[in-house]
Amino acid sequence: MTRKQKKSLCSIILSAVLLVVAKLLGNVAYVTVSLYILAYLIAGFDTLRKAFRNILRGNVFDENFLMAIATIGAIIIKEYTEGVAVMLFYRVGELFESIAVGKSRKSISELMDIRPDRATVIRDGEETVVSPDEVEVGELIVVAPGEKVAIDGIIVDGSSTLDTSALTGESLPRTAAIGDRIQSGFINLSGVITIKTECTFETSTAAKILELVENASSKKTRSEAFITRFARYYTPAVVFSALALAVIPSIVFGNPLSWVKRALIFLVISCPCALVISVPLTFFGAIGCASKKGILIKGSCYIEQLSKAGTVVFDKTGTLTKGSFSVTAIHENGIGKQRLLELAAISESRSSHPIALSVIRAYGKKPDQSQISSISEVSGQGIIAQIGDDKVYCGNSKLMNSIGIDTPECHRQGTVVHVAVNGQYEGHIIINDEIKEDAKEAITLLSQSGVRRTVMLTGDSEAIAQRVAKELCIDEYHAELLPTDKASLLEKIIEEKDSDSTVVFIGDGINDAPVISRADVGIAMGALGSDAAIEAADVVLMDDKPSKTAFAVKLSKKAISIARCNIIFALSVKLLVLILGALGYAGMWLAVFADVGVSVIAICNAMRTLRIKE
């Protein structure tokens, strides 16, 4: 418990003791009344203070005002026990709410703990401890065992194991050595490592993630927006209805004390705490649960959208497959395999595409870029480079066809990179990409969670797309797509969807930003450090596991179900007891249950989102 919660608990206990003593004393008039009033003030001081402060600010009609009016009225008409008990139980409900919100915040605060306090930077040959904000791009920082990595960068010295759980949700440590790129927020577990920074702290992964989490609660669902609007009109309506209940029947039927008591009971019953607390808590808990699993949801509105997912569209490379290509075969027409690979590596040396990097790795040397006098990229086809005296074409069959070359049929599975020199076909390189271990599980789980249609979009060949789609049991696929084709196809898929469902797109965050932003819900897969993905996506998966998408959908459906259950339960109970109270069949104790009891039950139900498992 926090200090504030402990103080609240002490007030509740002291007030309860005084209430019991007052009841036991019975008819000792002045002493008994004094004890009742003291018990009331101890229990209700915070509520009365909030009500008075809000009135001064112009926010008259809220739950604090309702409780203050109802309980002060009970004291005035000498219903001391009921007045104190109502305030006492209201404080118990508030304490319970505070503890529940605290538990929901815990998973968020654990993620917020990724913020590094300091960075050890090497300047003029000496190590200096500075604030992460002071470290510039290209500087060297030293991370000792037990310290957080302050800024994204590449390891230039040393090796270690890293705890990535705060960002990825993965419990197993990850090994890292020279040349590996690591993100801020990771915790160094063993050896000392030196990192060359690639960005400033403001643009580092930790800072971006913290900003996402801090802003997540600002984007509300329609359910939350409904509750906000509902409370804005509901509370004044209740106050004036209670006033009418106290005045009009008293004039018509007489016996004003009885009608005033009914009006006070009516006020206690009508307090909208259960709705105002439990619905936002449900979504807040879901966001916290997701963050513990390495899933960052930018706002509760996206939980609502995910819960209605009917079609899930996947990019292939880097999403369903690992994106780490390897050269599996080389076929040449007389210039030699090494020369063919050299020309392809030099042509691809200025590209960061996974296929280009795999060709360079297979070449085994640093390509001599000084041989390039000119280079141009043909979108969706390949690269044309002037290398020395040779004009080299390196790309797919579309590029070859554009210069009048018919490519030979290839019987090997994989992505084919064709190479032509000075208009003459010289051979091709076959590259393969492995399917991720949990990709098939992801498709199966999505189907089980109610997703009716799965689609795969790829720029790869028809044969590769067909093989991957068949292996993963994907409903449909579209191959040999240019980047603009993906956007067009997604537009068509969105037009075809049912009115009550949404389209989710999952991409690797490198070149899918336009499509991610167009989907009803855009998910960036394995997008640590990718500005485009984090900016465009509504949900960011902190690792490369597509199966996390299925959990996000499951979590969203459960959260929406819990929120709706709370709304129906709270409104039904309150409506029933309000009618009974107005007719004189509900006493103050039933009113307490309709307020505090319903709130506690709704909060307990909302907290179930914290315990949803994969």
Across 303-327, b (16+ Cβ under 10 Å) vs e yields bbbbbbbbbbbbbbbbbbbbbebeb
Share of the chain above pLDDT 90, in %: 21
For residue 414, give the CATH number of its domain.
3.40.1110.10
- What is the amino acid identity at position 91? R
Q: State the pLDDT at residue 226.
A: 62
CA distance 536 to 519: 10
Q: Is the pLDDT of residue 453 over 90?
A: yes
Please tell me which of 26-35, 199-208, 461-470 the model is most confident about, judged by mean pLDDT.
461-470
Q: Are 70 and 245 in contact (CB under 8 A)?
A: no
- The answer to whether position 27 is within a domain reads yes
Q: State the pLDDT at residue 297.
A: 84
Please classify residue 13 by burial: count the beta carbons closer than 10 Å to its beta carbon, then call 0-12 exposed, 13-18 middle and 19+ buried.
exposed
For residue 305, give the CATH number of its domain.
3.40.50.1000
Q: Is the pLDDT of residue 537 over 90?
A: no
- The answer to whether position 596 is within a domain reads yes
- The answer to whether position 125 is within a domain reads yes
Q: Which residue has the higher pLDDT, 18 or 482?
A: 18
Q: Are residues 314 and 450 in the same domain?
A: yes
Pairing label, strands 521-525, 539-541: parallel
Q: State the pLDDT at residue 383.
A: 92
Q: State the pLDDT at residue 299.
A: 78
Please classify residue 583 by burial: count the beta carbons closer than 10 Å to its beta carbon, then call 0-12 exposed, 13-18 middle and 19+ buried.
exposed
Last residue of a domain, one of 129, 164, 198: 198
For residue 166, give the CATH number of its domain.
2.70.150.10
Q: Are residues 100 and 244 in the same domain?
A: yes
- The answer to whether position 135 is within a domain reads yes
Please classify residue 414 by burial: count the beta carbons closer than 10 Å to its beta carbon, then call 0-12 exposed, 13-18 middle and 19+ buried.
buried
Put the strands of the sheet holding 160-163 in their side by side order.
174-176, 160-163, 187-188
Report pLDDT digits (tens) over 283-327.
878 887 887 788 888 877 888 889 999 999 998 877 888 776 778
pTM score: 0.67
Q: Quick count: other Cβ atoms within 10 Å of Cβ 12?
A: 18
Last residue of a domain, one of 368, 403, 432: 432
Last residue of a domain, one of 387, 404, 432: 432
Q: Quick count: other Cβ atoms within 10 Å of Cβ 202?
A: 11
Share of the chain above pLDDT 70, in %: 87
Q: Which of 62, 163, 315, 512 is catalytic?
A: 315
Q: Is the pLDDT of residue 455 over 90?
A: yes
The region, left, alpha or beta by phi > 0 then psi within -120 to 50, assigned to residue 179 is left
CA distance 552 to 446: 10
Among candidate residues 278, 298, 306, 351, the one with its CA nearest the CA of residue 97: 278
Report pLDDT digits (tens) over 153-202.
999 999 888 887 666 656 567 888 898 888 888 888 888 999 999 888 88
Q: Are residues 79 and 143 in the same domain?
A: no
Least confident span in 55-59, 430-434, 458-462, 510-514: 510-514
Q: Quick count: other Cβ atoms within 10 Å of Cβ 23?
A: 14
Q: Which two tokens stand for residue 346?
A: 């030099």
Please report where in the chains the tokens 């001391």 appear, as a residue.
80
Residue-wise DSSP of 80-129 = HHHHHHHHHHHHHHHHHHHHHHHHHHHHHHHHHTT--S-EEEEETTEEEE
CA distance 452 to 347: 43
Q: Is the pLDDT of residue 343 over 90?
A: yes
Q: Are residues 313 and 453 in the same domain?
A: yes
Residue-wise DSSP of 226-256 = HHHHHHHHHHHHHHHHHHHHHHHHHHHH--H
CA distance 205 to 114: 10
Q: State the pLDDT at residue 55.
A: 83
Q: Are 489 and 476 in contact (CB under 8 A)?
A: no
- The answer to whether position 550 is within a domain reads no
Please tell me which of 267-271, 421-425, 574-578 the model is most confident about, judged by mean pLDDT.
421-425
Mean pLDDT of the chain: 82
Q: Which range marks the domain in which residue 416 is found?
A: 326-432
Residue-wise DSSP of 305-368 = HHHTEEEEEEESTTTTB----EEEEEEESSS-HHHHHHHHHHHHTT---HHHHHHHHHH-S---
CA distance 405 to 421: 11
Helices and strands of the chain, counted as H and E runs: 21, 22
221 phi/psi in degrees, rounded to 5: -80, 170
Q: Is the pLDDT of residue 529 over 60?
A: no
- The answer to whether position 222 is within a domain reads yes
Query: What is the rounded average pLDDT of the residues 142-146?
Result: 91
Report pLDDT digits (tens) over 253-281.
888 888 888 887 777 777 776 677 777 77
Q: Are residues 512 and 465 in the same domain?
A: yes
CA distance 329 to 344: 14
Q: Is the pLDDT of residue 144 over 50?
A: yes
3-state percent breakdown (helix, strand, coil) of the chain, nearest 5: 55, 20, 25
Please report where in the chains the tokens 């139980």 appear, as a residue.
89
Q: Are residues 87 and 132 in the same domain?
A: no
Q: Are residues 175 and 239 in the same domain?
A: no
Q: Are 425 and 333 in contact (CB under 8 A)?
A: yes
Please report where in the chains the tokens 């819990």 appear, as a residue.
562
- The answer to whether position 288 is within a domain reads no
Q: Are residues 412 and 351 in the same domain?
A: yes
Q: Are residues 440 and 428 in the same domain?
A: no
Q: Quick count: other Cβ atoms within 10 Å of Cβ 173?
A: 16
Q: Are residues 410 and 439 in the same domain?
A: no
Query: What is the rounded average pLDDT of the residues 201-215?
Result: 69
Q: Which two tokens stand for residue 518?
A: 């167009």
The region, left, alpha or beta by phi > 0 then psi within -120 to 50, assigned to residue 58 is left
Q: Are residues 366 and 465 in the same domain?
A: no
CA distance 21 to 533: 63
Q: State the pLDDT at residue 193.
A: 93
**Residue 315 is among the residues annotated as catalytic for this protein:** yes
- The answer to whether position 551 is within a domain reads no
Report pLDDT digits (tens) over 352-410.
777 888 889 889 888 999 999 999 988 778 899 999 999 999 998 889 999 999 888 77
CA distance 186 to 528: 12
Q: Are residues 400 and 462 in the same domain?
A: no
**Total number of domains constituting the chain:** 4
Report pLDDT digits (tens) over 82-127.
778 878 877 877 777 677 666 655 555 555 556 677 889 999 888 9
Across 560-582, b (16+ Cβ under 10 Å) vs e yields bebbebbbebbeebbeebbebbb
